[in-house]
A and B are shown apart, each in its own frame.
Chain A
């Protein structure tokens, strides 16, 4: 769990460094994390063995697809054209790795009430899932979860942070 979070956060940090959240991002592969101990998913195979990326792993997914995250406009849950492109790329990877099950996390910025944001996060996760399914990924390989505004990646109270936090994240097991 800790390692996964670190990966998500580091990717998010790179997204932030890449600048505007509305442009396609060409991201470098995530830094190797060859011997990071996993506190939670101890049964899952490591994505990196001896520095090489294992096909079908999260590291492989992030390297091939570039990002696990699509962003949304304020109070919106429809996937914009940039997000469609990212999800299409994710779908190609998922179709090629048929044994991988993923979780789609829906998130919101802090400027919403708690209950509504939980529901909105669910709507975002469902919206992204629907795009993957339409692109050929079996629906039963995708579970969804909403965190509402509980798990921001950007911790500021400004438009830039809020834009980064309005997101759906495709979480591939380590």
Chain B
């Protein structure tokens, strides 16, 4: 694992993309030493002590102007973003790191000093302006006590995407230390809310996972609900009350074009893409019954997947596309069911007390997150066979989970008692690290994107 990560760090990846990973050779003295074994955070074993980590300001070889700002100022900001990402994971505890790092020290850390800070891990890096207008961000992870380099990555980015280099640096550290997949270089689509409780104005919005680069996508004239990303992330499928006809639409993030998915005479709701992006599953309400359908993402004739009388909704594919988890009240209250992707073999999986709703399959395939209704509303997880159910959140009304790209963190929305105001929150699988995600206005119905390409 560790050798593989170092090898990956030295391999040219995606060189034609706007954000390219390159070997961080600009300041690196060849291949680093073999990584140590001791920097490990076990994030599955319940409560673990956050790892003390130092992330000093990243120097620049030459102070230069770029479209994103001066390279020395960017060095401050990149380090801050890396720090916020890692701290936000709940697995790292930043220590004071206001210690100037000279450019040559990026690859030759002052271990003597960093040992005195109590840091177990050290992240150093640099920001450099290139002649073609791009920026290079170098990112190095060190084991302070073993005095060893553990990982290095270099990222060449267009100035507009400089924050992504910082997120990728944080992902490098997170991945190397936890052994889990990356998730910081990702985005969130959600519904921005404002206005009085009986007349909320709701707009589609999109932002980076940490709340930066926030944009509104719709103007609030029509009520919009439940946005979900296509796997390619250029499209969002959602529900809108355009012209008082509640239907599902797709929104092209690049062009802003909105397209009706199914021209049905009845309400369509709760859409979600299949993992390969070729299909959309959704519900349609006819004569008091709500059933689940599948339609090609390019349109065409829908296929009905459920028949049981009642409310069948909130469908979500397994990551391999072979199964669909959904909620149904066919046995009384809302419970979770799994079926084959063609609608066959429908069987109930939730049997704990209370009701279970809004299931979402983890991108790792190992868990299903849901809204548990029993006394309160809280987000929980269970295995796809229904075993191992546990509750993770502690709000008055927590609802609508969505998974981080690595399947280790869940975002959801929390509605306040009385006010009806909703905010975005996230929690990790230990249930310990519950925190609010900053948004300019109120927020609900979050959808976490896959890792950015």
A156 vs B200: C-alpha distance when bound (angstroms)? 15
Q: Which residue of A lies closest to B291 (CB)?
A: A119
A127 vs B289: C-alpha distance when bound (angstroms)? 11
Do A115 and B358 touch across chains, with their CB atoms under 8 A apart?
yes
A153 within 8 A of B: yes
B46 within 8 A of A: no
B285 within 8 A of A: yes
Do A115 and B283 touch across chains, with their CB atoms under 8 A apart?
yes
Known: A110-B397, A151-B198. A119 touches B226 (CB 8 A): no
Chain B 51-85 residues near chain A, CB threshold 8 A: none
A120 interface neighbour in B200, B311, B377, Cβ under 8 Å: B311
Do A122 and B198 touch across chains, with their CB atoms under 8 A apart?
no
Point out the residues of chain A lying under 8 angstroms from B200, CB to CB: 150
Name the residue among A122, A151, A153 with the largest chain B CB count within 10 angstroms.
A122
The interface bits of chain A over 109-122 (1 if a CB of B lies within 8 angstroms of the residue's CB, else 0) are 01111111011101
Known: A110-B420, A119-B311, A120-B311. A152 touches B285 (CB 8 A): no
Do A146 and B420 touch across chains, with their CB atoms under 8 A apart?
no
A123 within 8 A of B: yes
The interface bits of chain A over 149-172 (1 if a CB of B lies within 8 angstroms of the residue's CB, else 0) are 011110111000000000000000
Known: A119-B269, A145-B244. A113 touches B400 (CB 8 A): yes
Chain A 1-17 residues near chain B, CB threshold 8 A: 5, 9
Point out the residues of chain A lying under 8 angstroms from B225, CB to CB: 114, 118, 150
Point out the residues of chain A lying under 8 angstroms from B6, CB to CB: none
A87 vs B334: C-alpha distance when bound (angstroms)? 29
A174 within 8 A of B: no
Known: A114-B399, A146-B246, A152-B197. A119 touches B420 (CB 8 A): no
A156 vs B417: C-alpha distance when bound (angstroms)? 8
Do B397 and A115 touch across chains, with their CB atoms under 8 A apart?
no
A150 interface neighbour in B223, B371, B418, Cβ under 8 Å: B223
A127 vs B285: C-alpha distance when bound (angstroms)? 13
Chain B contact residues: helix, strand, loop or mixed: strand
The interface bits of chain B over 343-369 (1 if a CB of A lies within 8 angstroms of the residue's CB, else 0) are 000000000000001100000000000
B199 within 8 A of A: yes
How many chain B residues have a CB neighbour from A under 8 Å? 44
Do A116 and B288 touch across chains, with their CB atoms under 8 A apart?
no
B415 within 8 A of A: yes
A61 vs B245: C-alpha distance when bound (angstroms)? 24
A126 within 8 A of B: yes
Chain A 101-142 residues near chain B, CB threshold 8 A: 110-116, 118-120, 122-123, 126-127, 130
Do B267 and A115 touch across chains, with their CB atoms under 8 A apart?
no
A90 within 8 A of B: no
Do A155 and B283 touch across chains, with their CB atoms under 8 A apart?
no
Q: Which residue of A lies closest to B265 (CB)?
A: A143
A48 within 8 A of B: no
Do A115 and B313 touch across chains, with their CB atoms under 8 A apart?
yes
Point out the residues of chain B lying under 8 angstroms from A122, CB to CB: 267, 285, 288, 290
The interface bits of chain B over 33-53 (1 if a CB of A lies within 8 angstroms of the residue's CB, else 0) are 000000000000000000000
A115 interface neighbour in B196, B289, B314, B373, Cβ under 8 Å: B314
Point out the residues of chain A lying under 8 angstroms from B290, CB to CB: 119, 122-123
The interface bits of chain A over 54-72 (1 if a CB of B lies within 8 angstroms of the residue's CB, else 0) are 0000000000000000000
Do B288 and A118 touch across chains, with their CB atoms under 8 A apart?
no
Chain B 115-167 residues near chain A, CB threshold 8 A: none
Do A113 and B197 touch across chains, with their CB atoms under 8 A apart?
no
A116 vs B287: C-alpha distance when bound (angstroms)? 15
The interface bits of chain B over 391-424 (1 if a CB of A lies within 8 angstroms of the residue's CB, else 0) are 0000001011000000000000001011010000
Do B196 and A123 touch across chains, with their CB atoms under 8 A apart?
no
A77 within 8 A of B: yes
Q: Which residue of B lies closest to A9 (CB)?
A: B198
Point out the residues of chain B lying under 8 angstroms from A147, CB to CB: 223, 241
Name the residue among A111, A115, A123 with the largest chain B CB count within 10 angstroms.
A115
B288 interface neighbour in A5, A112, A127, Cβ under 8 Å: A127
Do B418 and A156 touch across chains, with their CB atoms under 8 A apart?
yes
Q: Which residue of B lies closest to A150 (CB)?
A: B223
Do A110 and B196 touch across chains, with their CB atoms under 8 A apart?
no
Do A115 and B420 touch across chains, with their CB atoms under 8 A apart?
no
A127 vs B290: C-alpha distance when bound (angstroms)? 14
Point out the residues of chain B lying under 8 angstroms from A145, CB to CB: 244-246, 267
A107 vs B394: C-alpha distance when bound (angstroms)? 27
Chain B 180-201 residues near chain A, CB threshold 8 A: 196-200
Point out the residues of chain B lying under 8 angstroms from A127, CB to CB: 288
Tell me the smallest distance from the CB of B64 to a CB of chain A, in Å. Answer: 49
Known: A145-B267, A150-B223. A119 touches B313 (CB 8 A): yes
A112 vs B415: C-alpha distance when bound (angstroms)? 12
A113 vs B241: C-alpha distance when bound (angstroms)? 18
Residues of chain A having any CB pair with chain B under 8 Å: 5, 9, 75, 77, 110-116, 118-120, 122-123, 126-127, 130, 145-147, 150-153, 155-157
Residue contacts A-B, CB under 8 angstroms, 24 given: A9-B198, A113-B334, A114-B226, A114-B358, A115-B270, A115-B314, A116-B313, A116-B314, A116-B327, A116-B329, A118-B267, A118-B269, A118-B285, A119-B283, A119-B285, A119-B311, A123-B288, A123-B290, A126-B287, A145-B244, A145-B245, A145-B246, A155-B196, A155-B420
Given contacts A114-B399, A114-B444, A157-B420, 9 further A-B contacts (CB under 8 A): A111-B377, A114-B225, A115-B313, A116-B327, A119-B283, A119-B285, A145-B267, A146-B267, A150-B225
Which 5 pairs between the two chains have the least Cβ-Cβ distance?
A119-B290, A126-B288, A122-B285, A155-B197, A119-B311
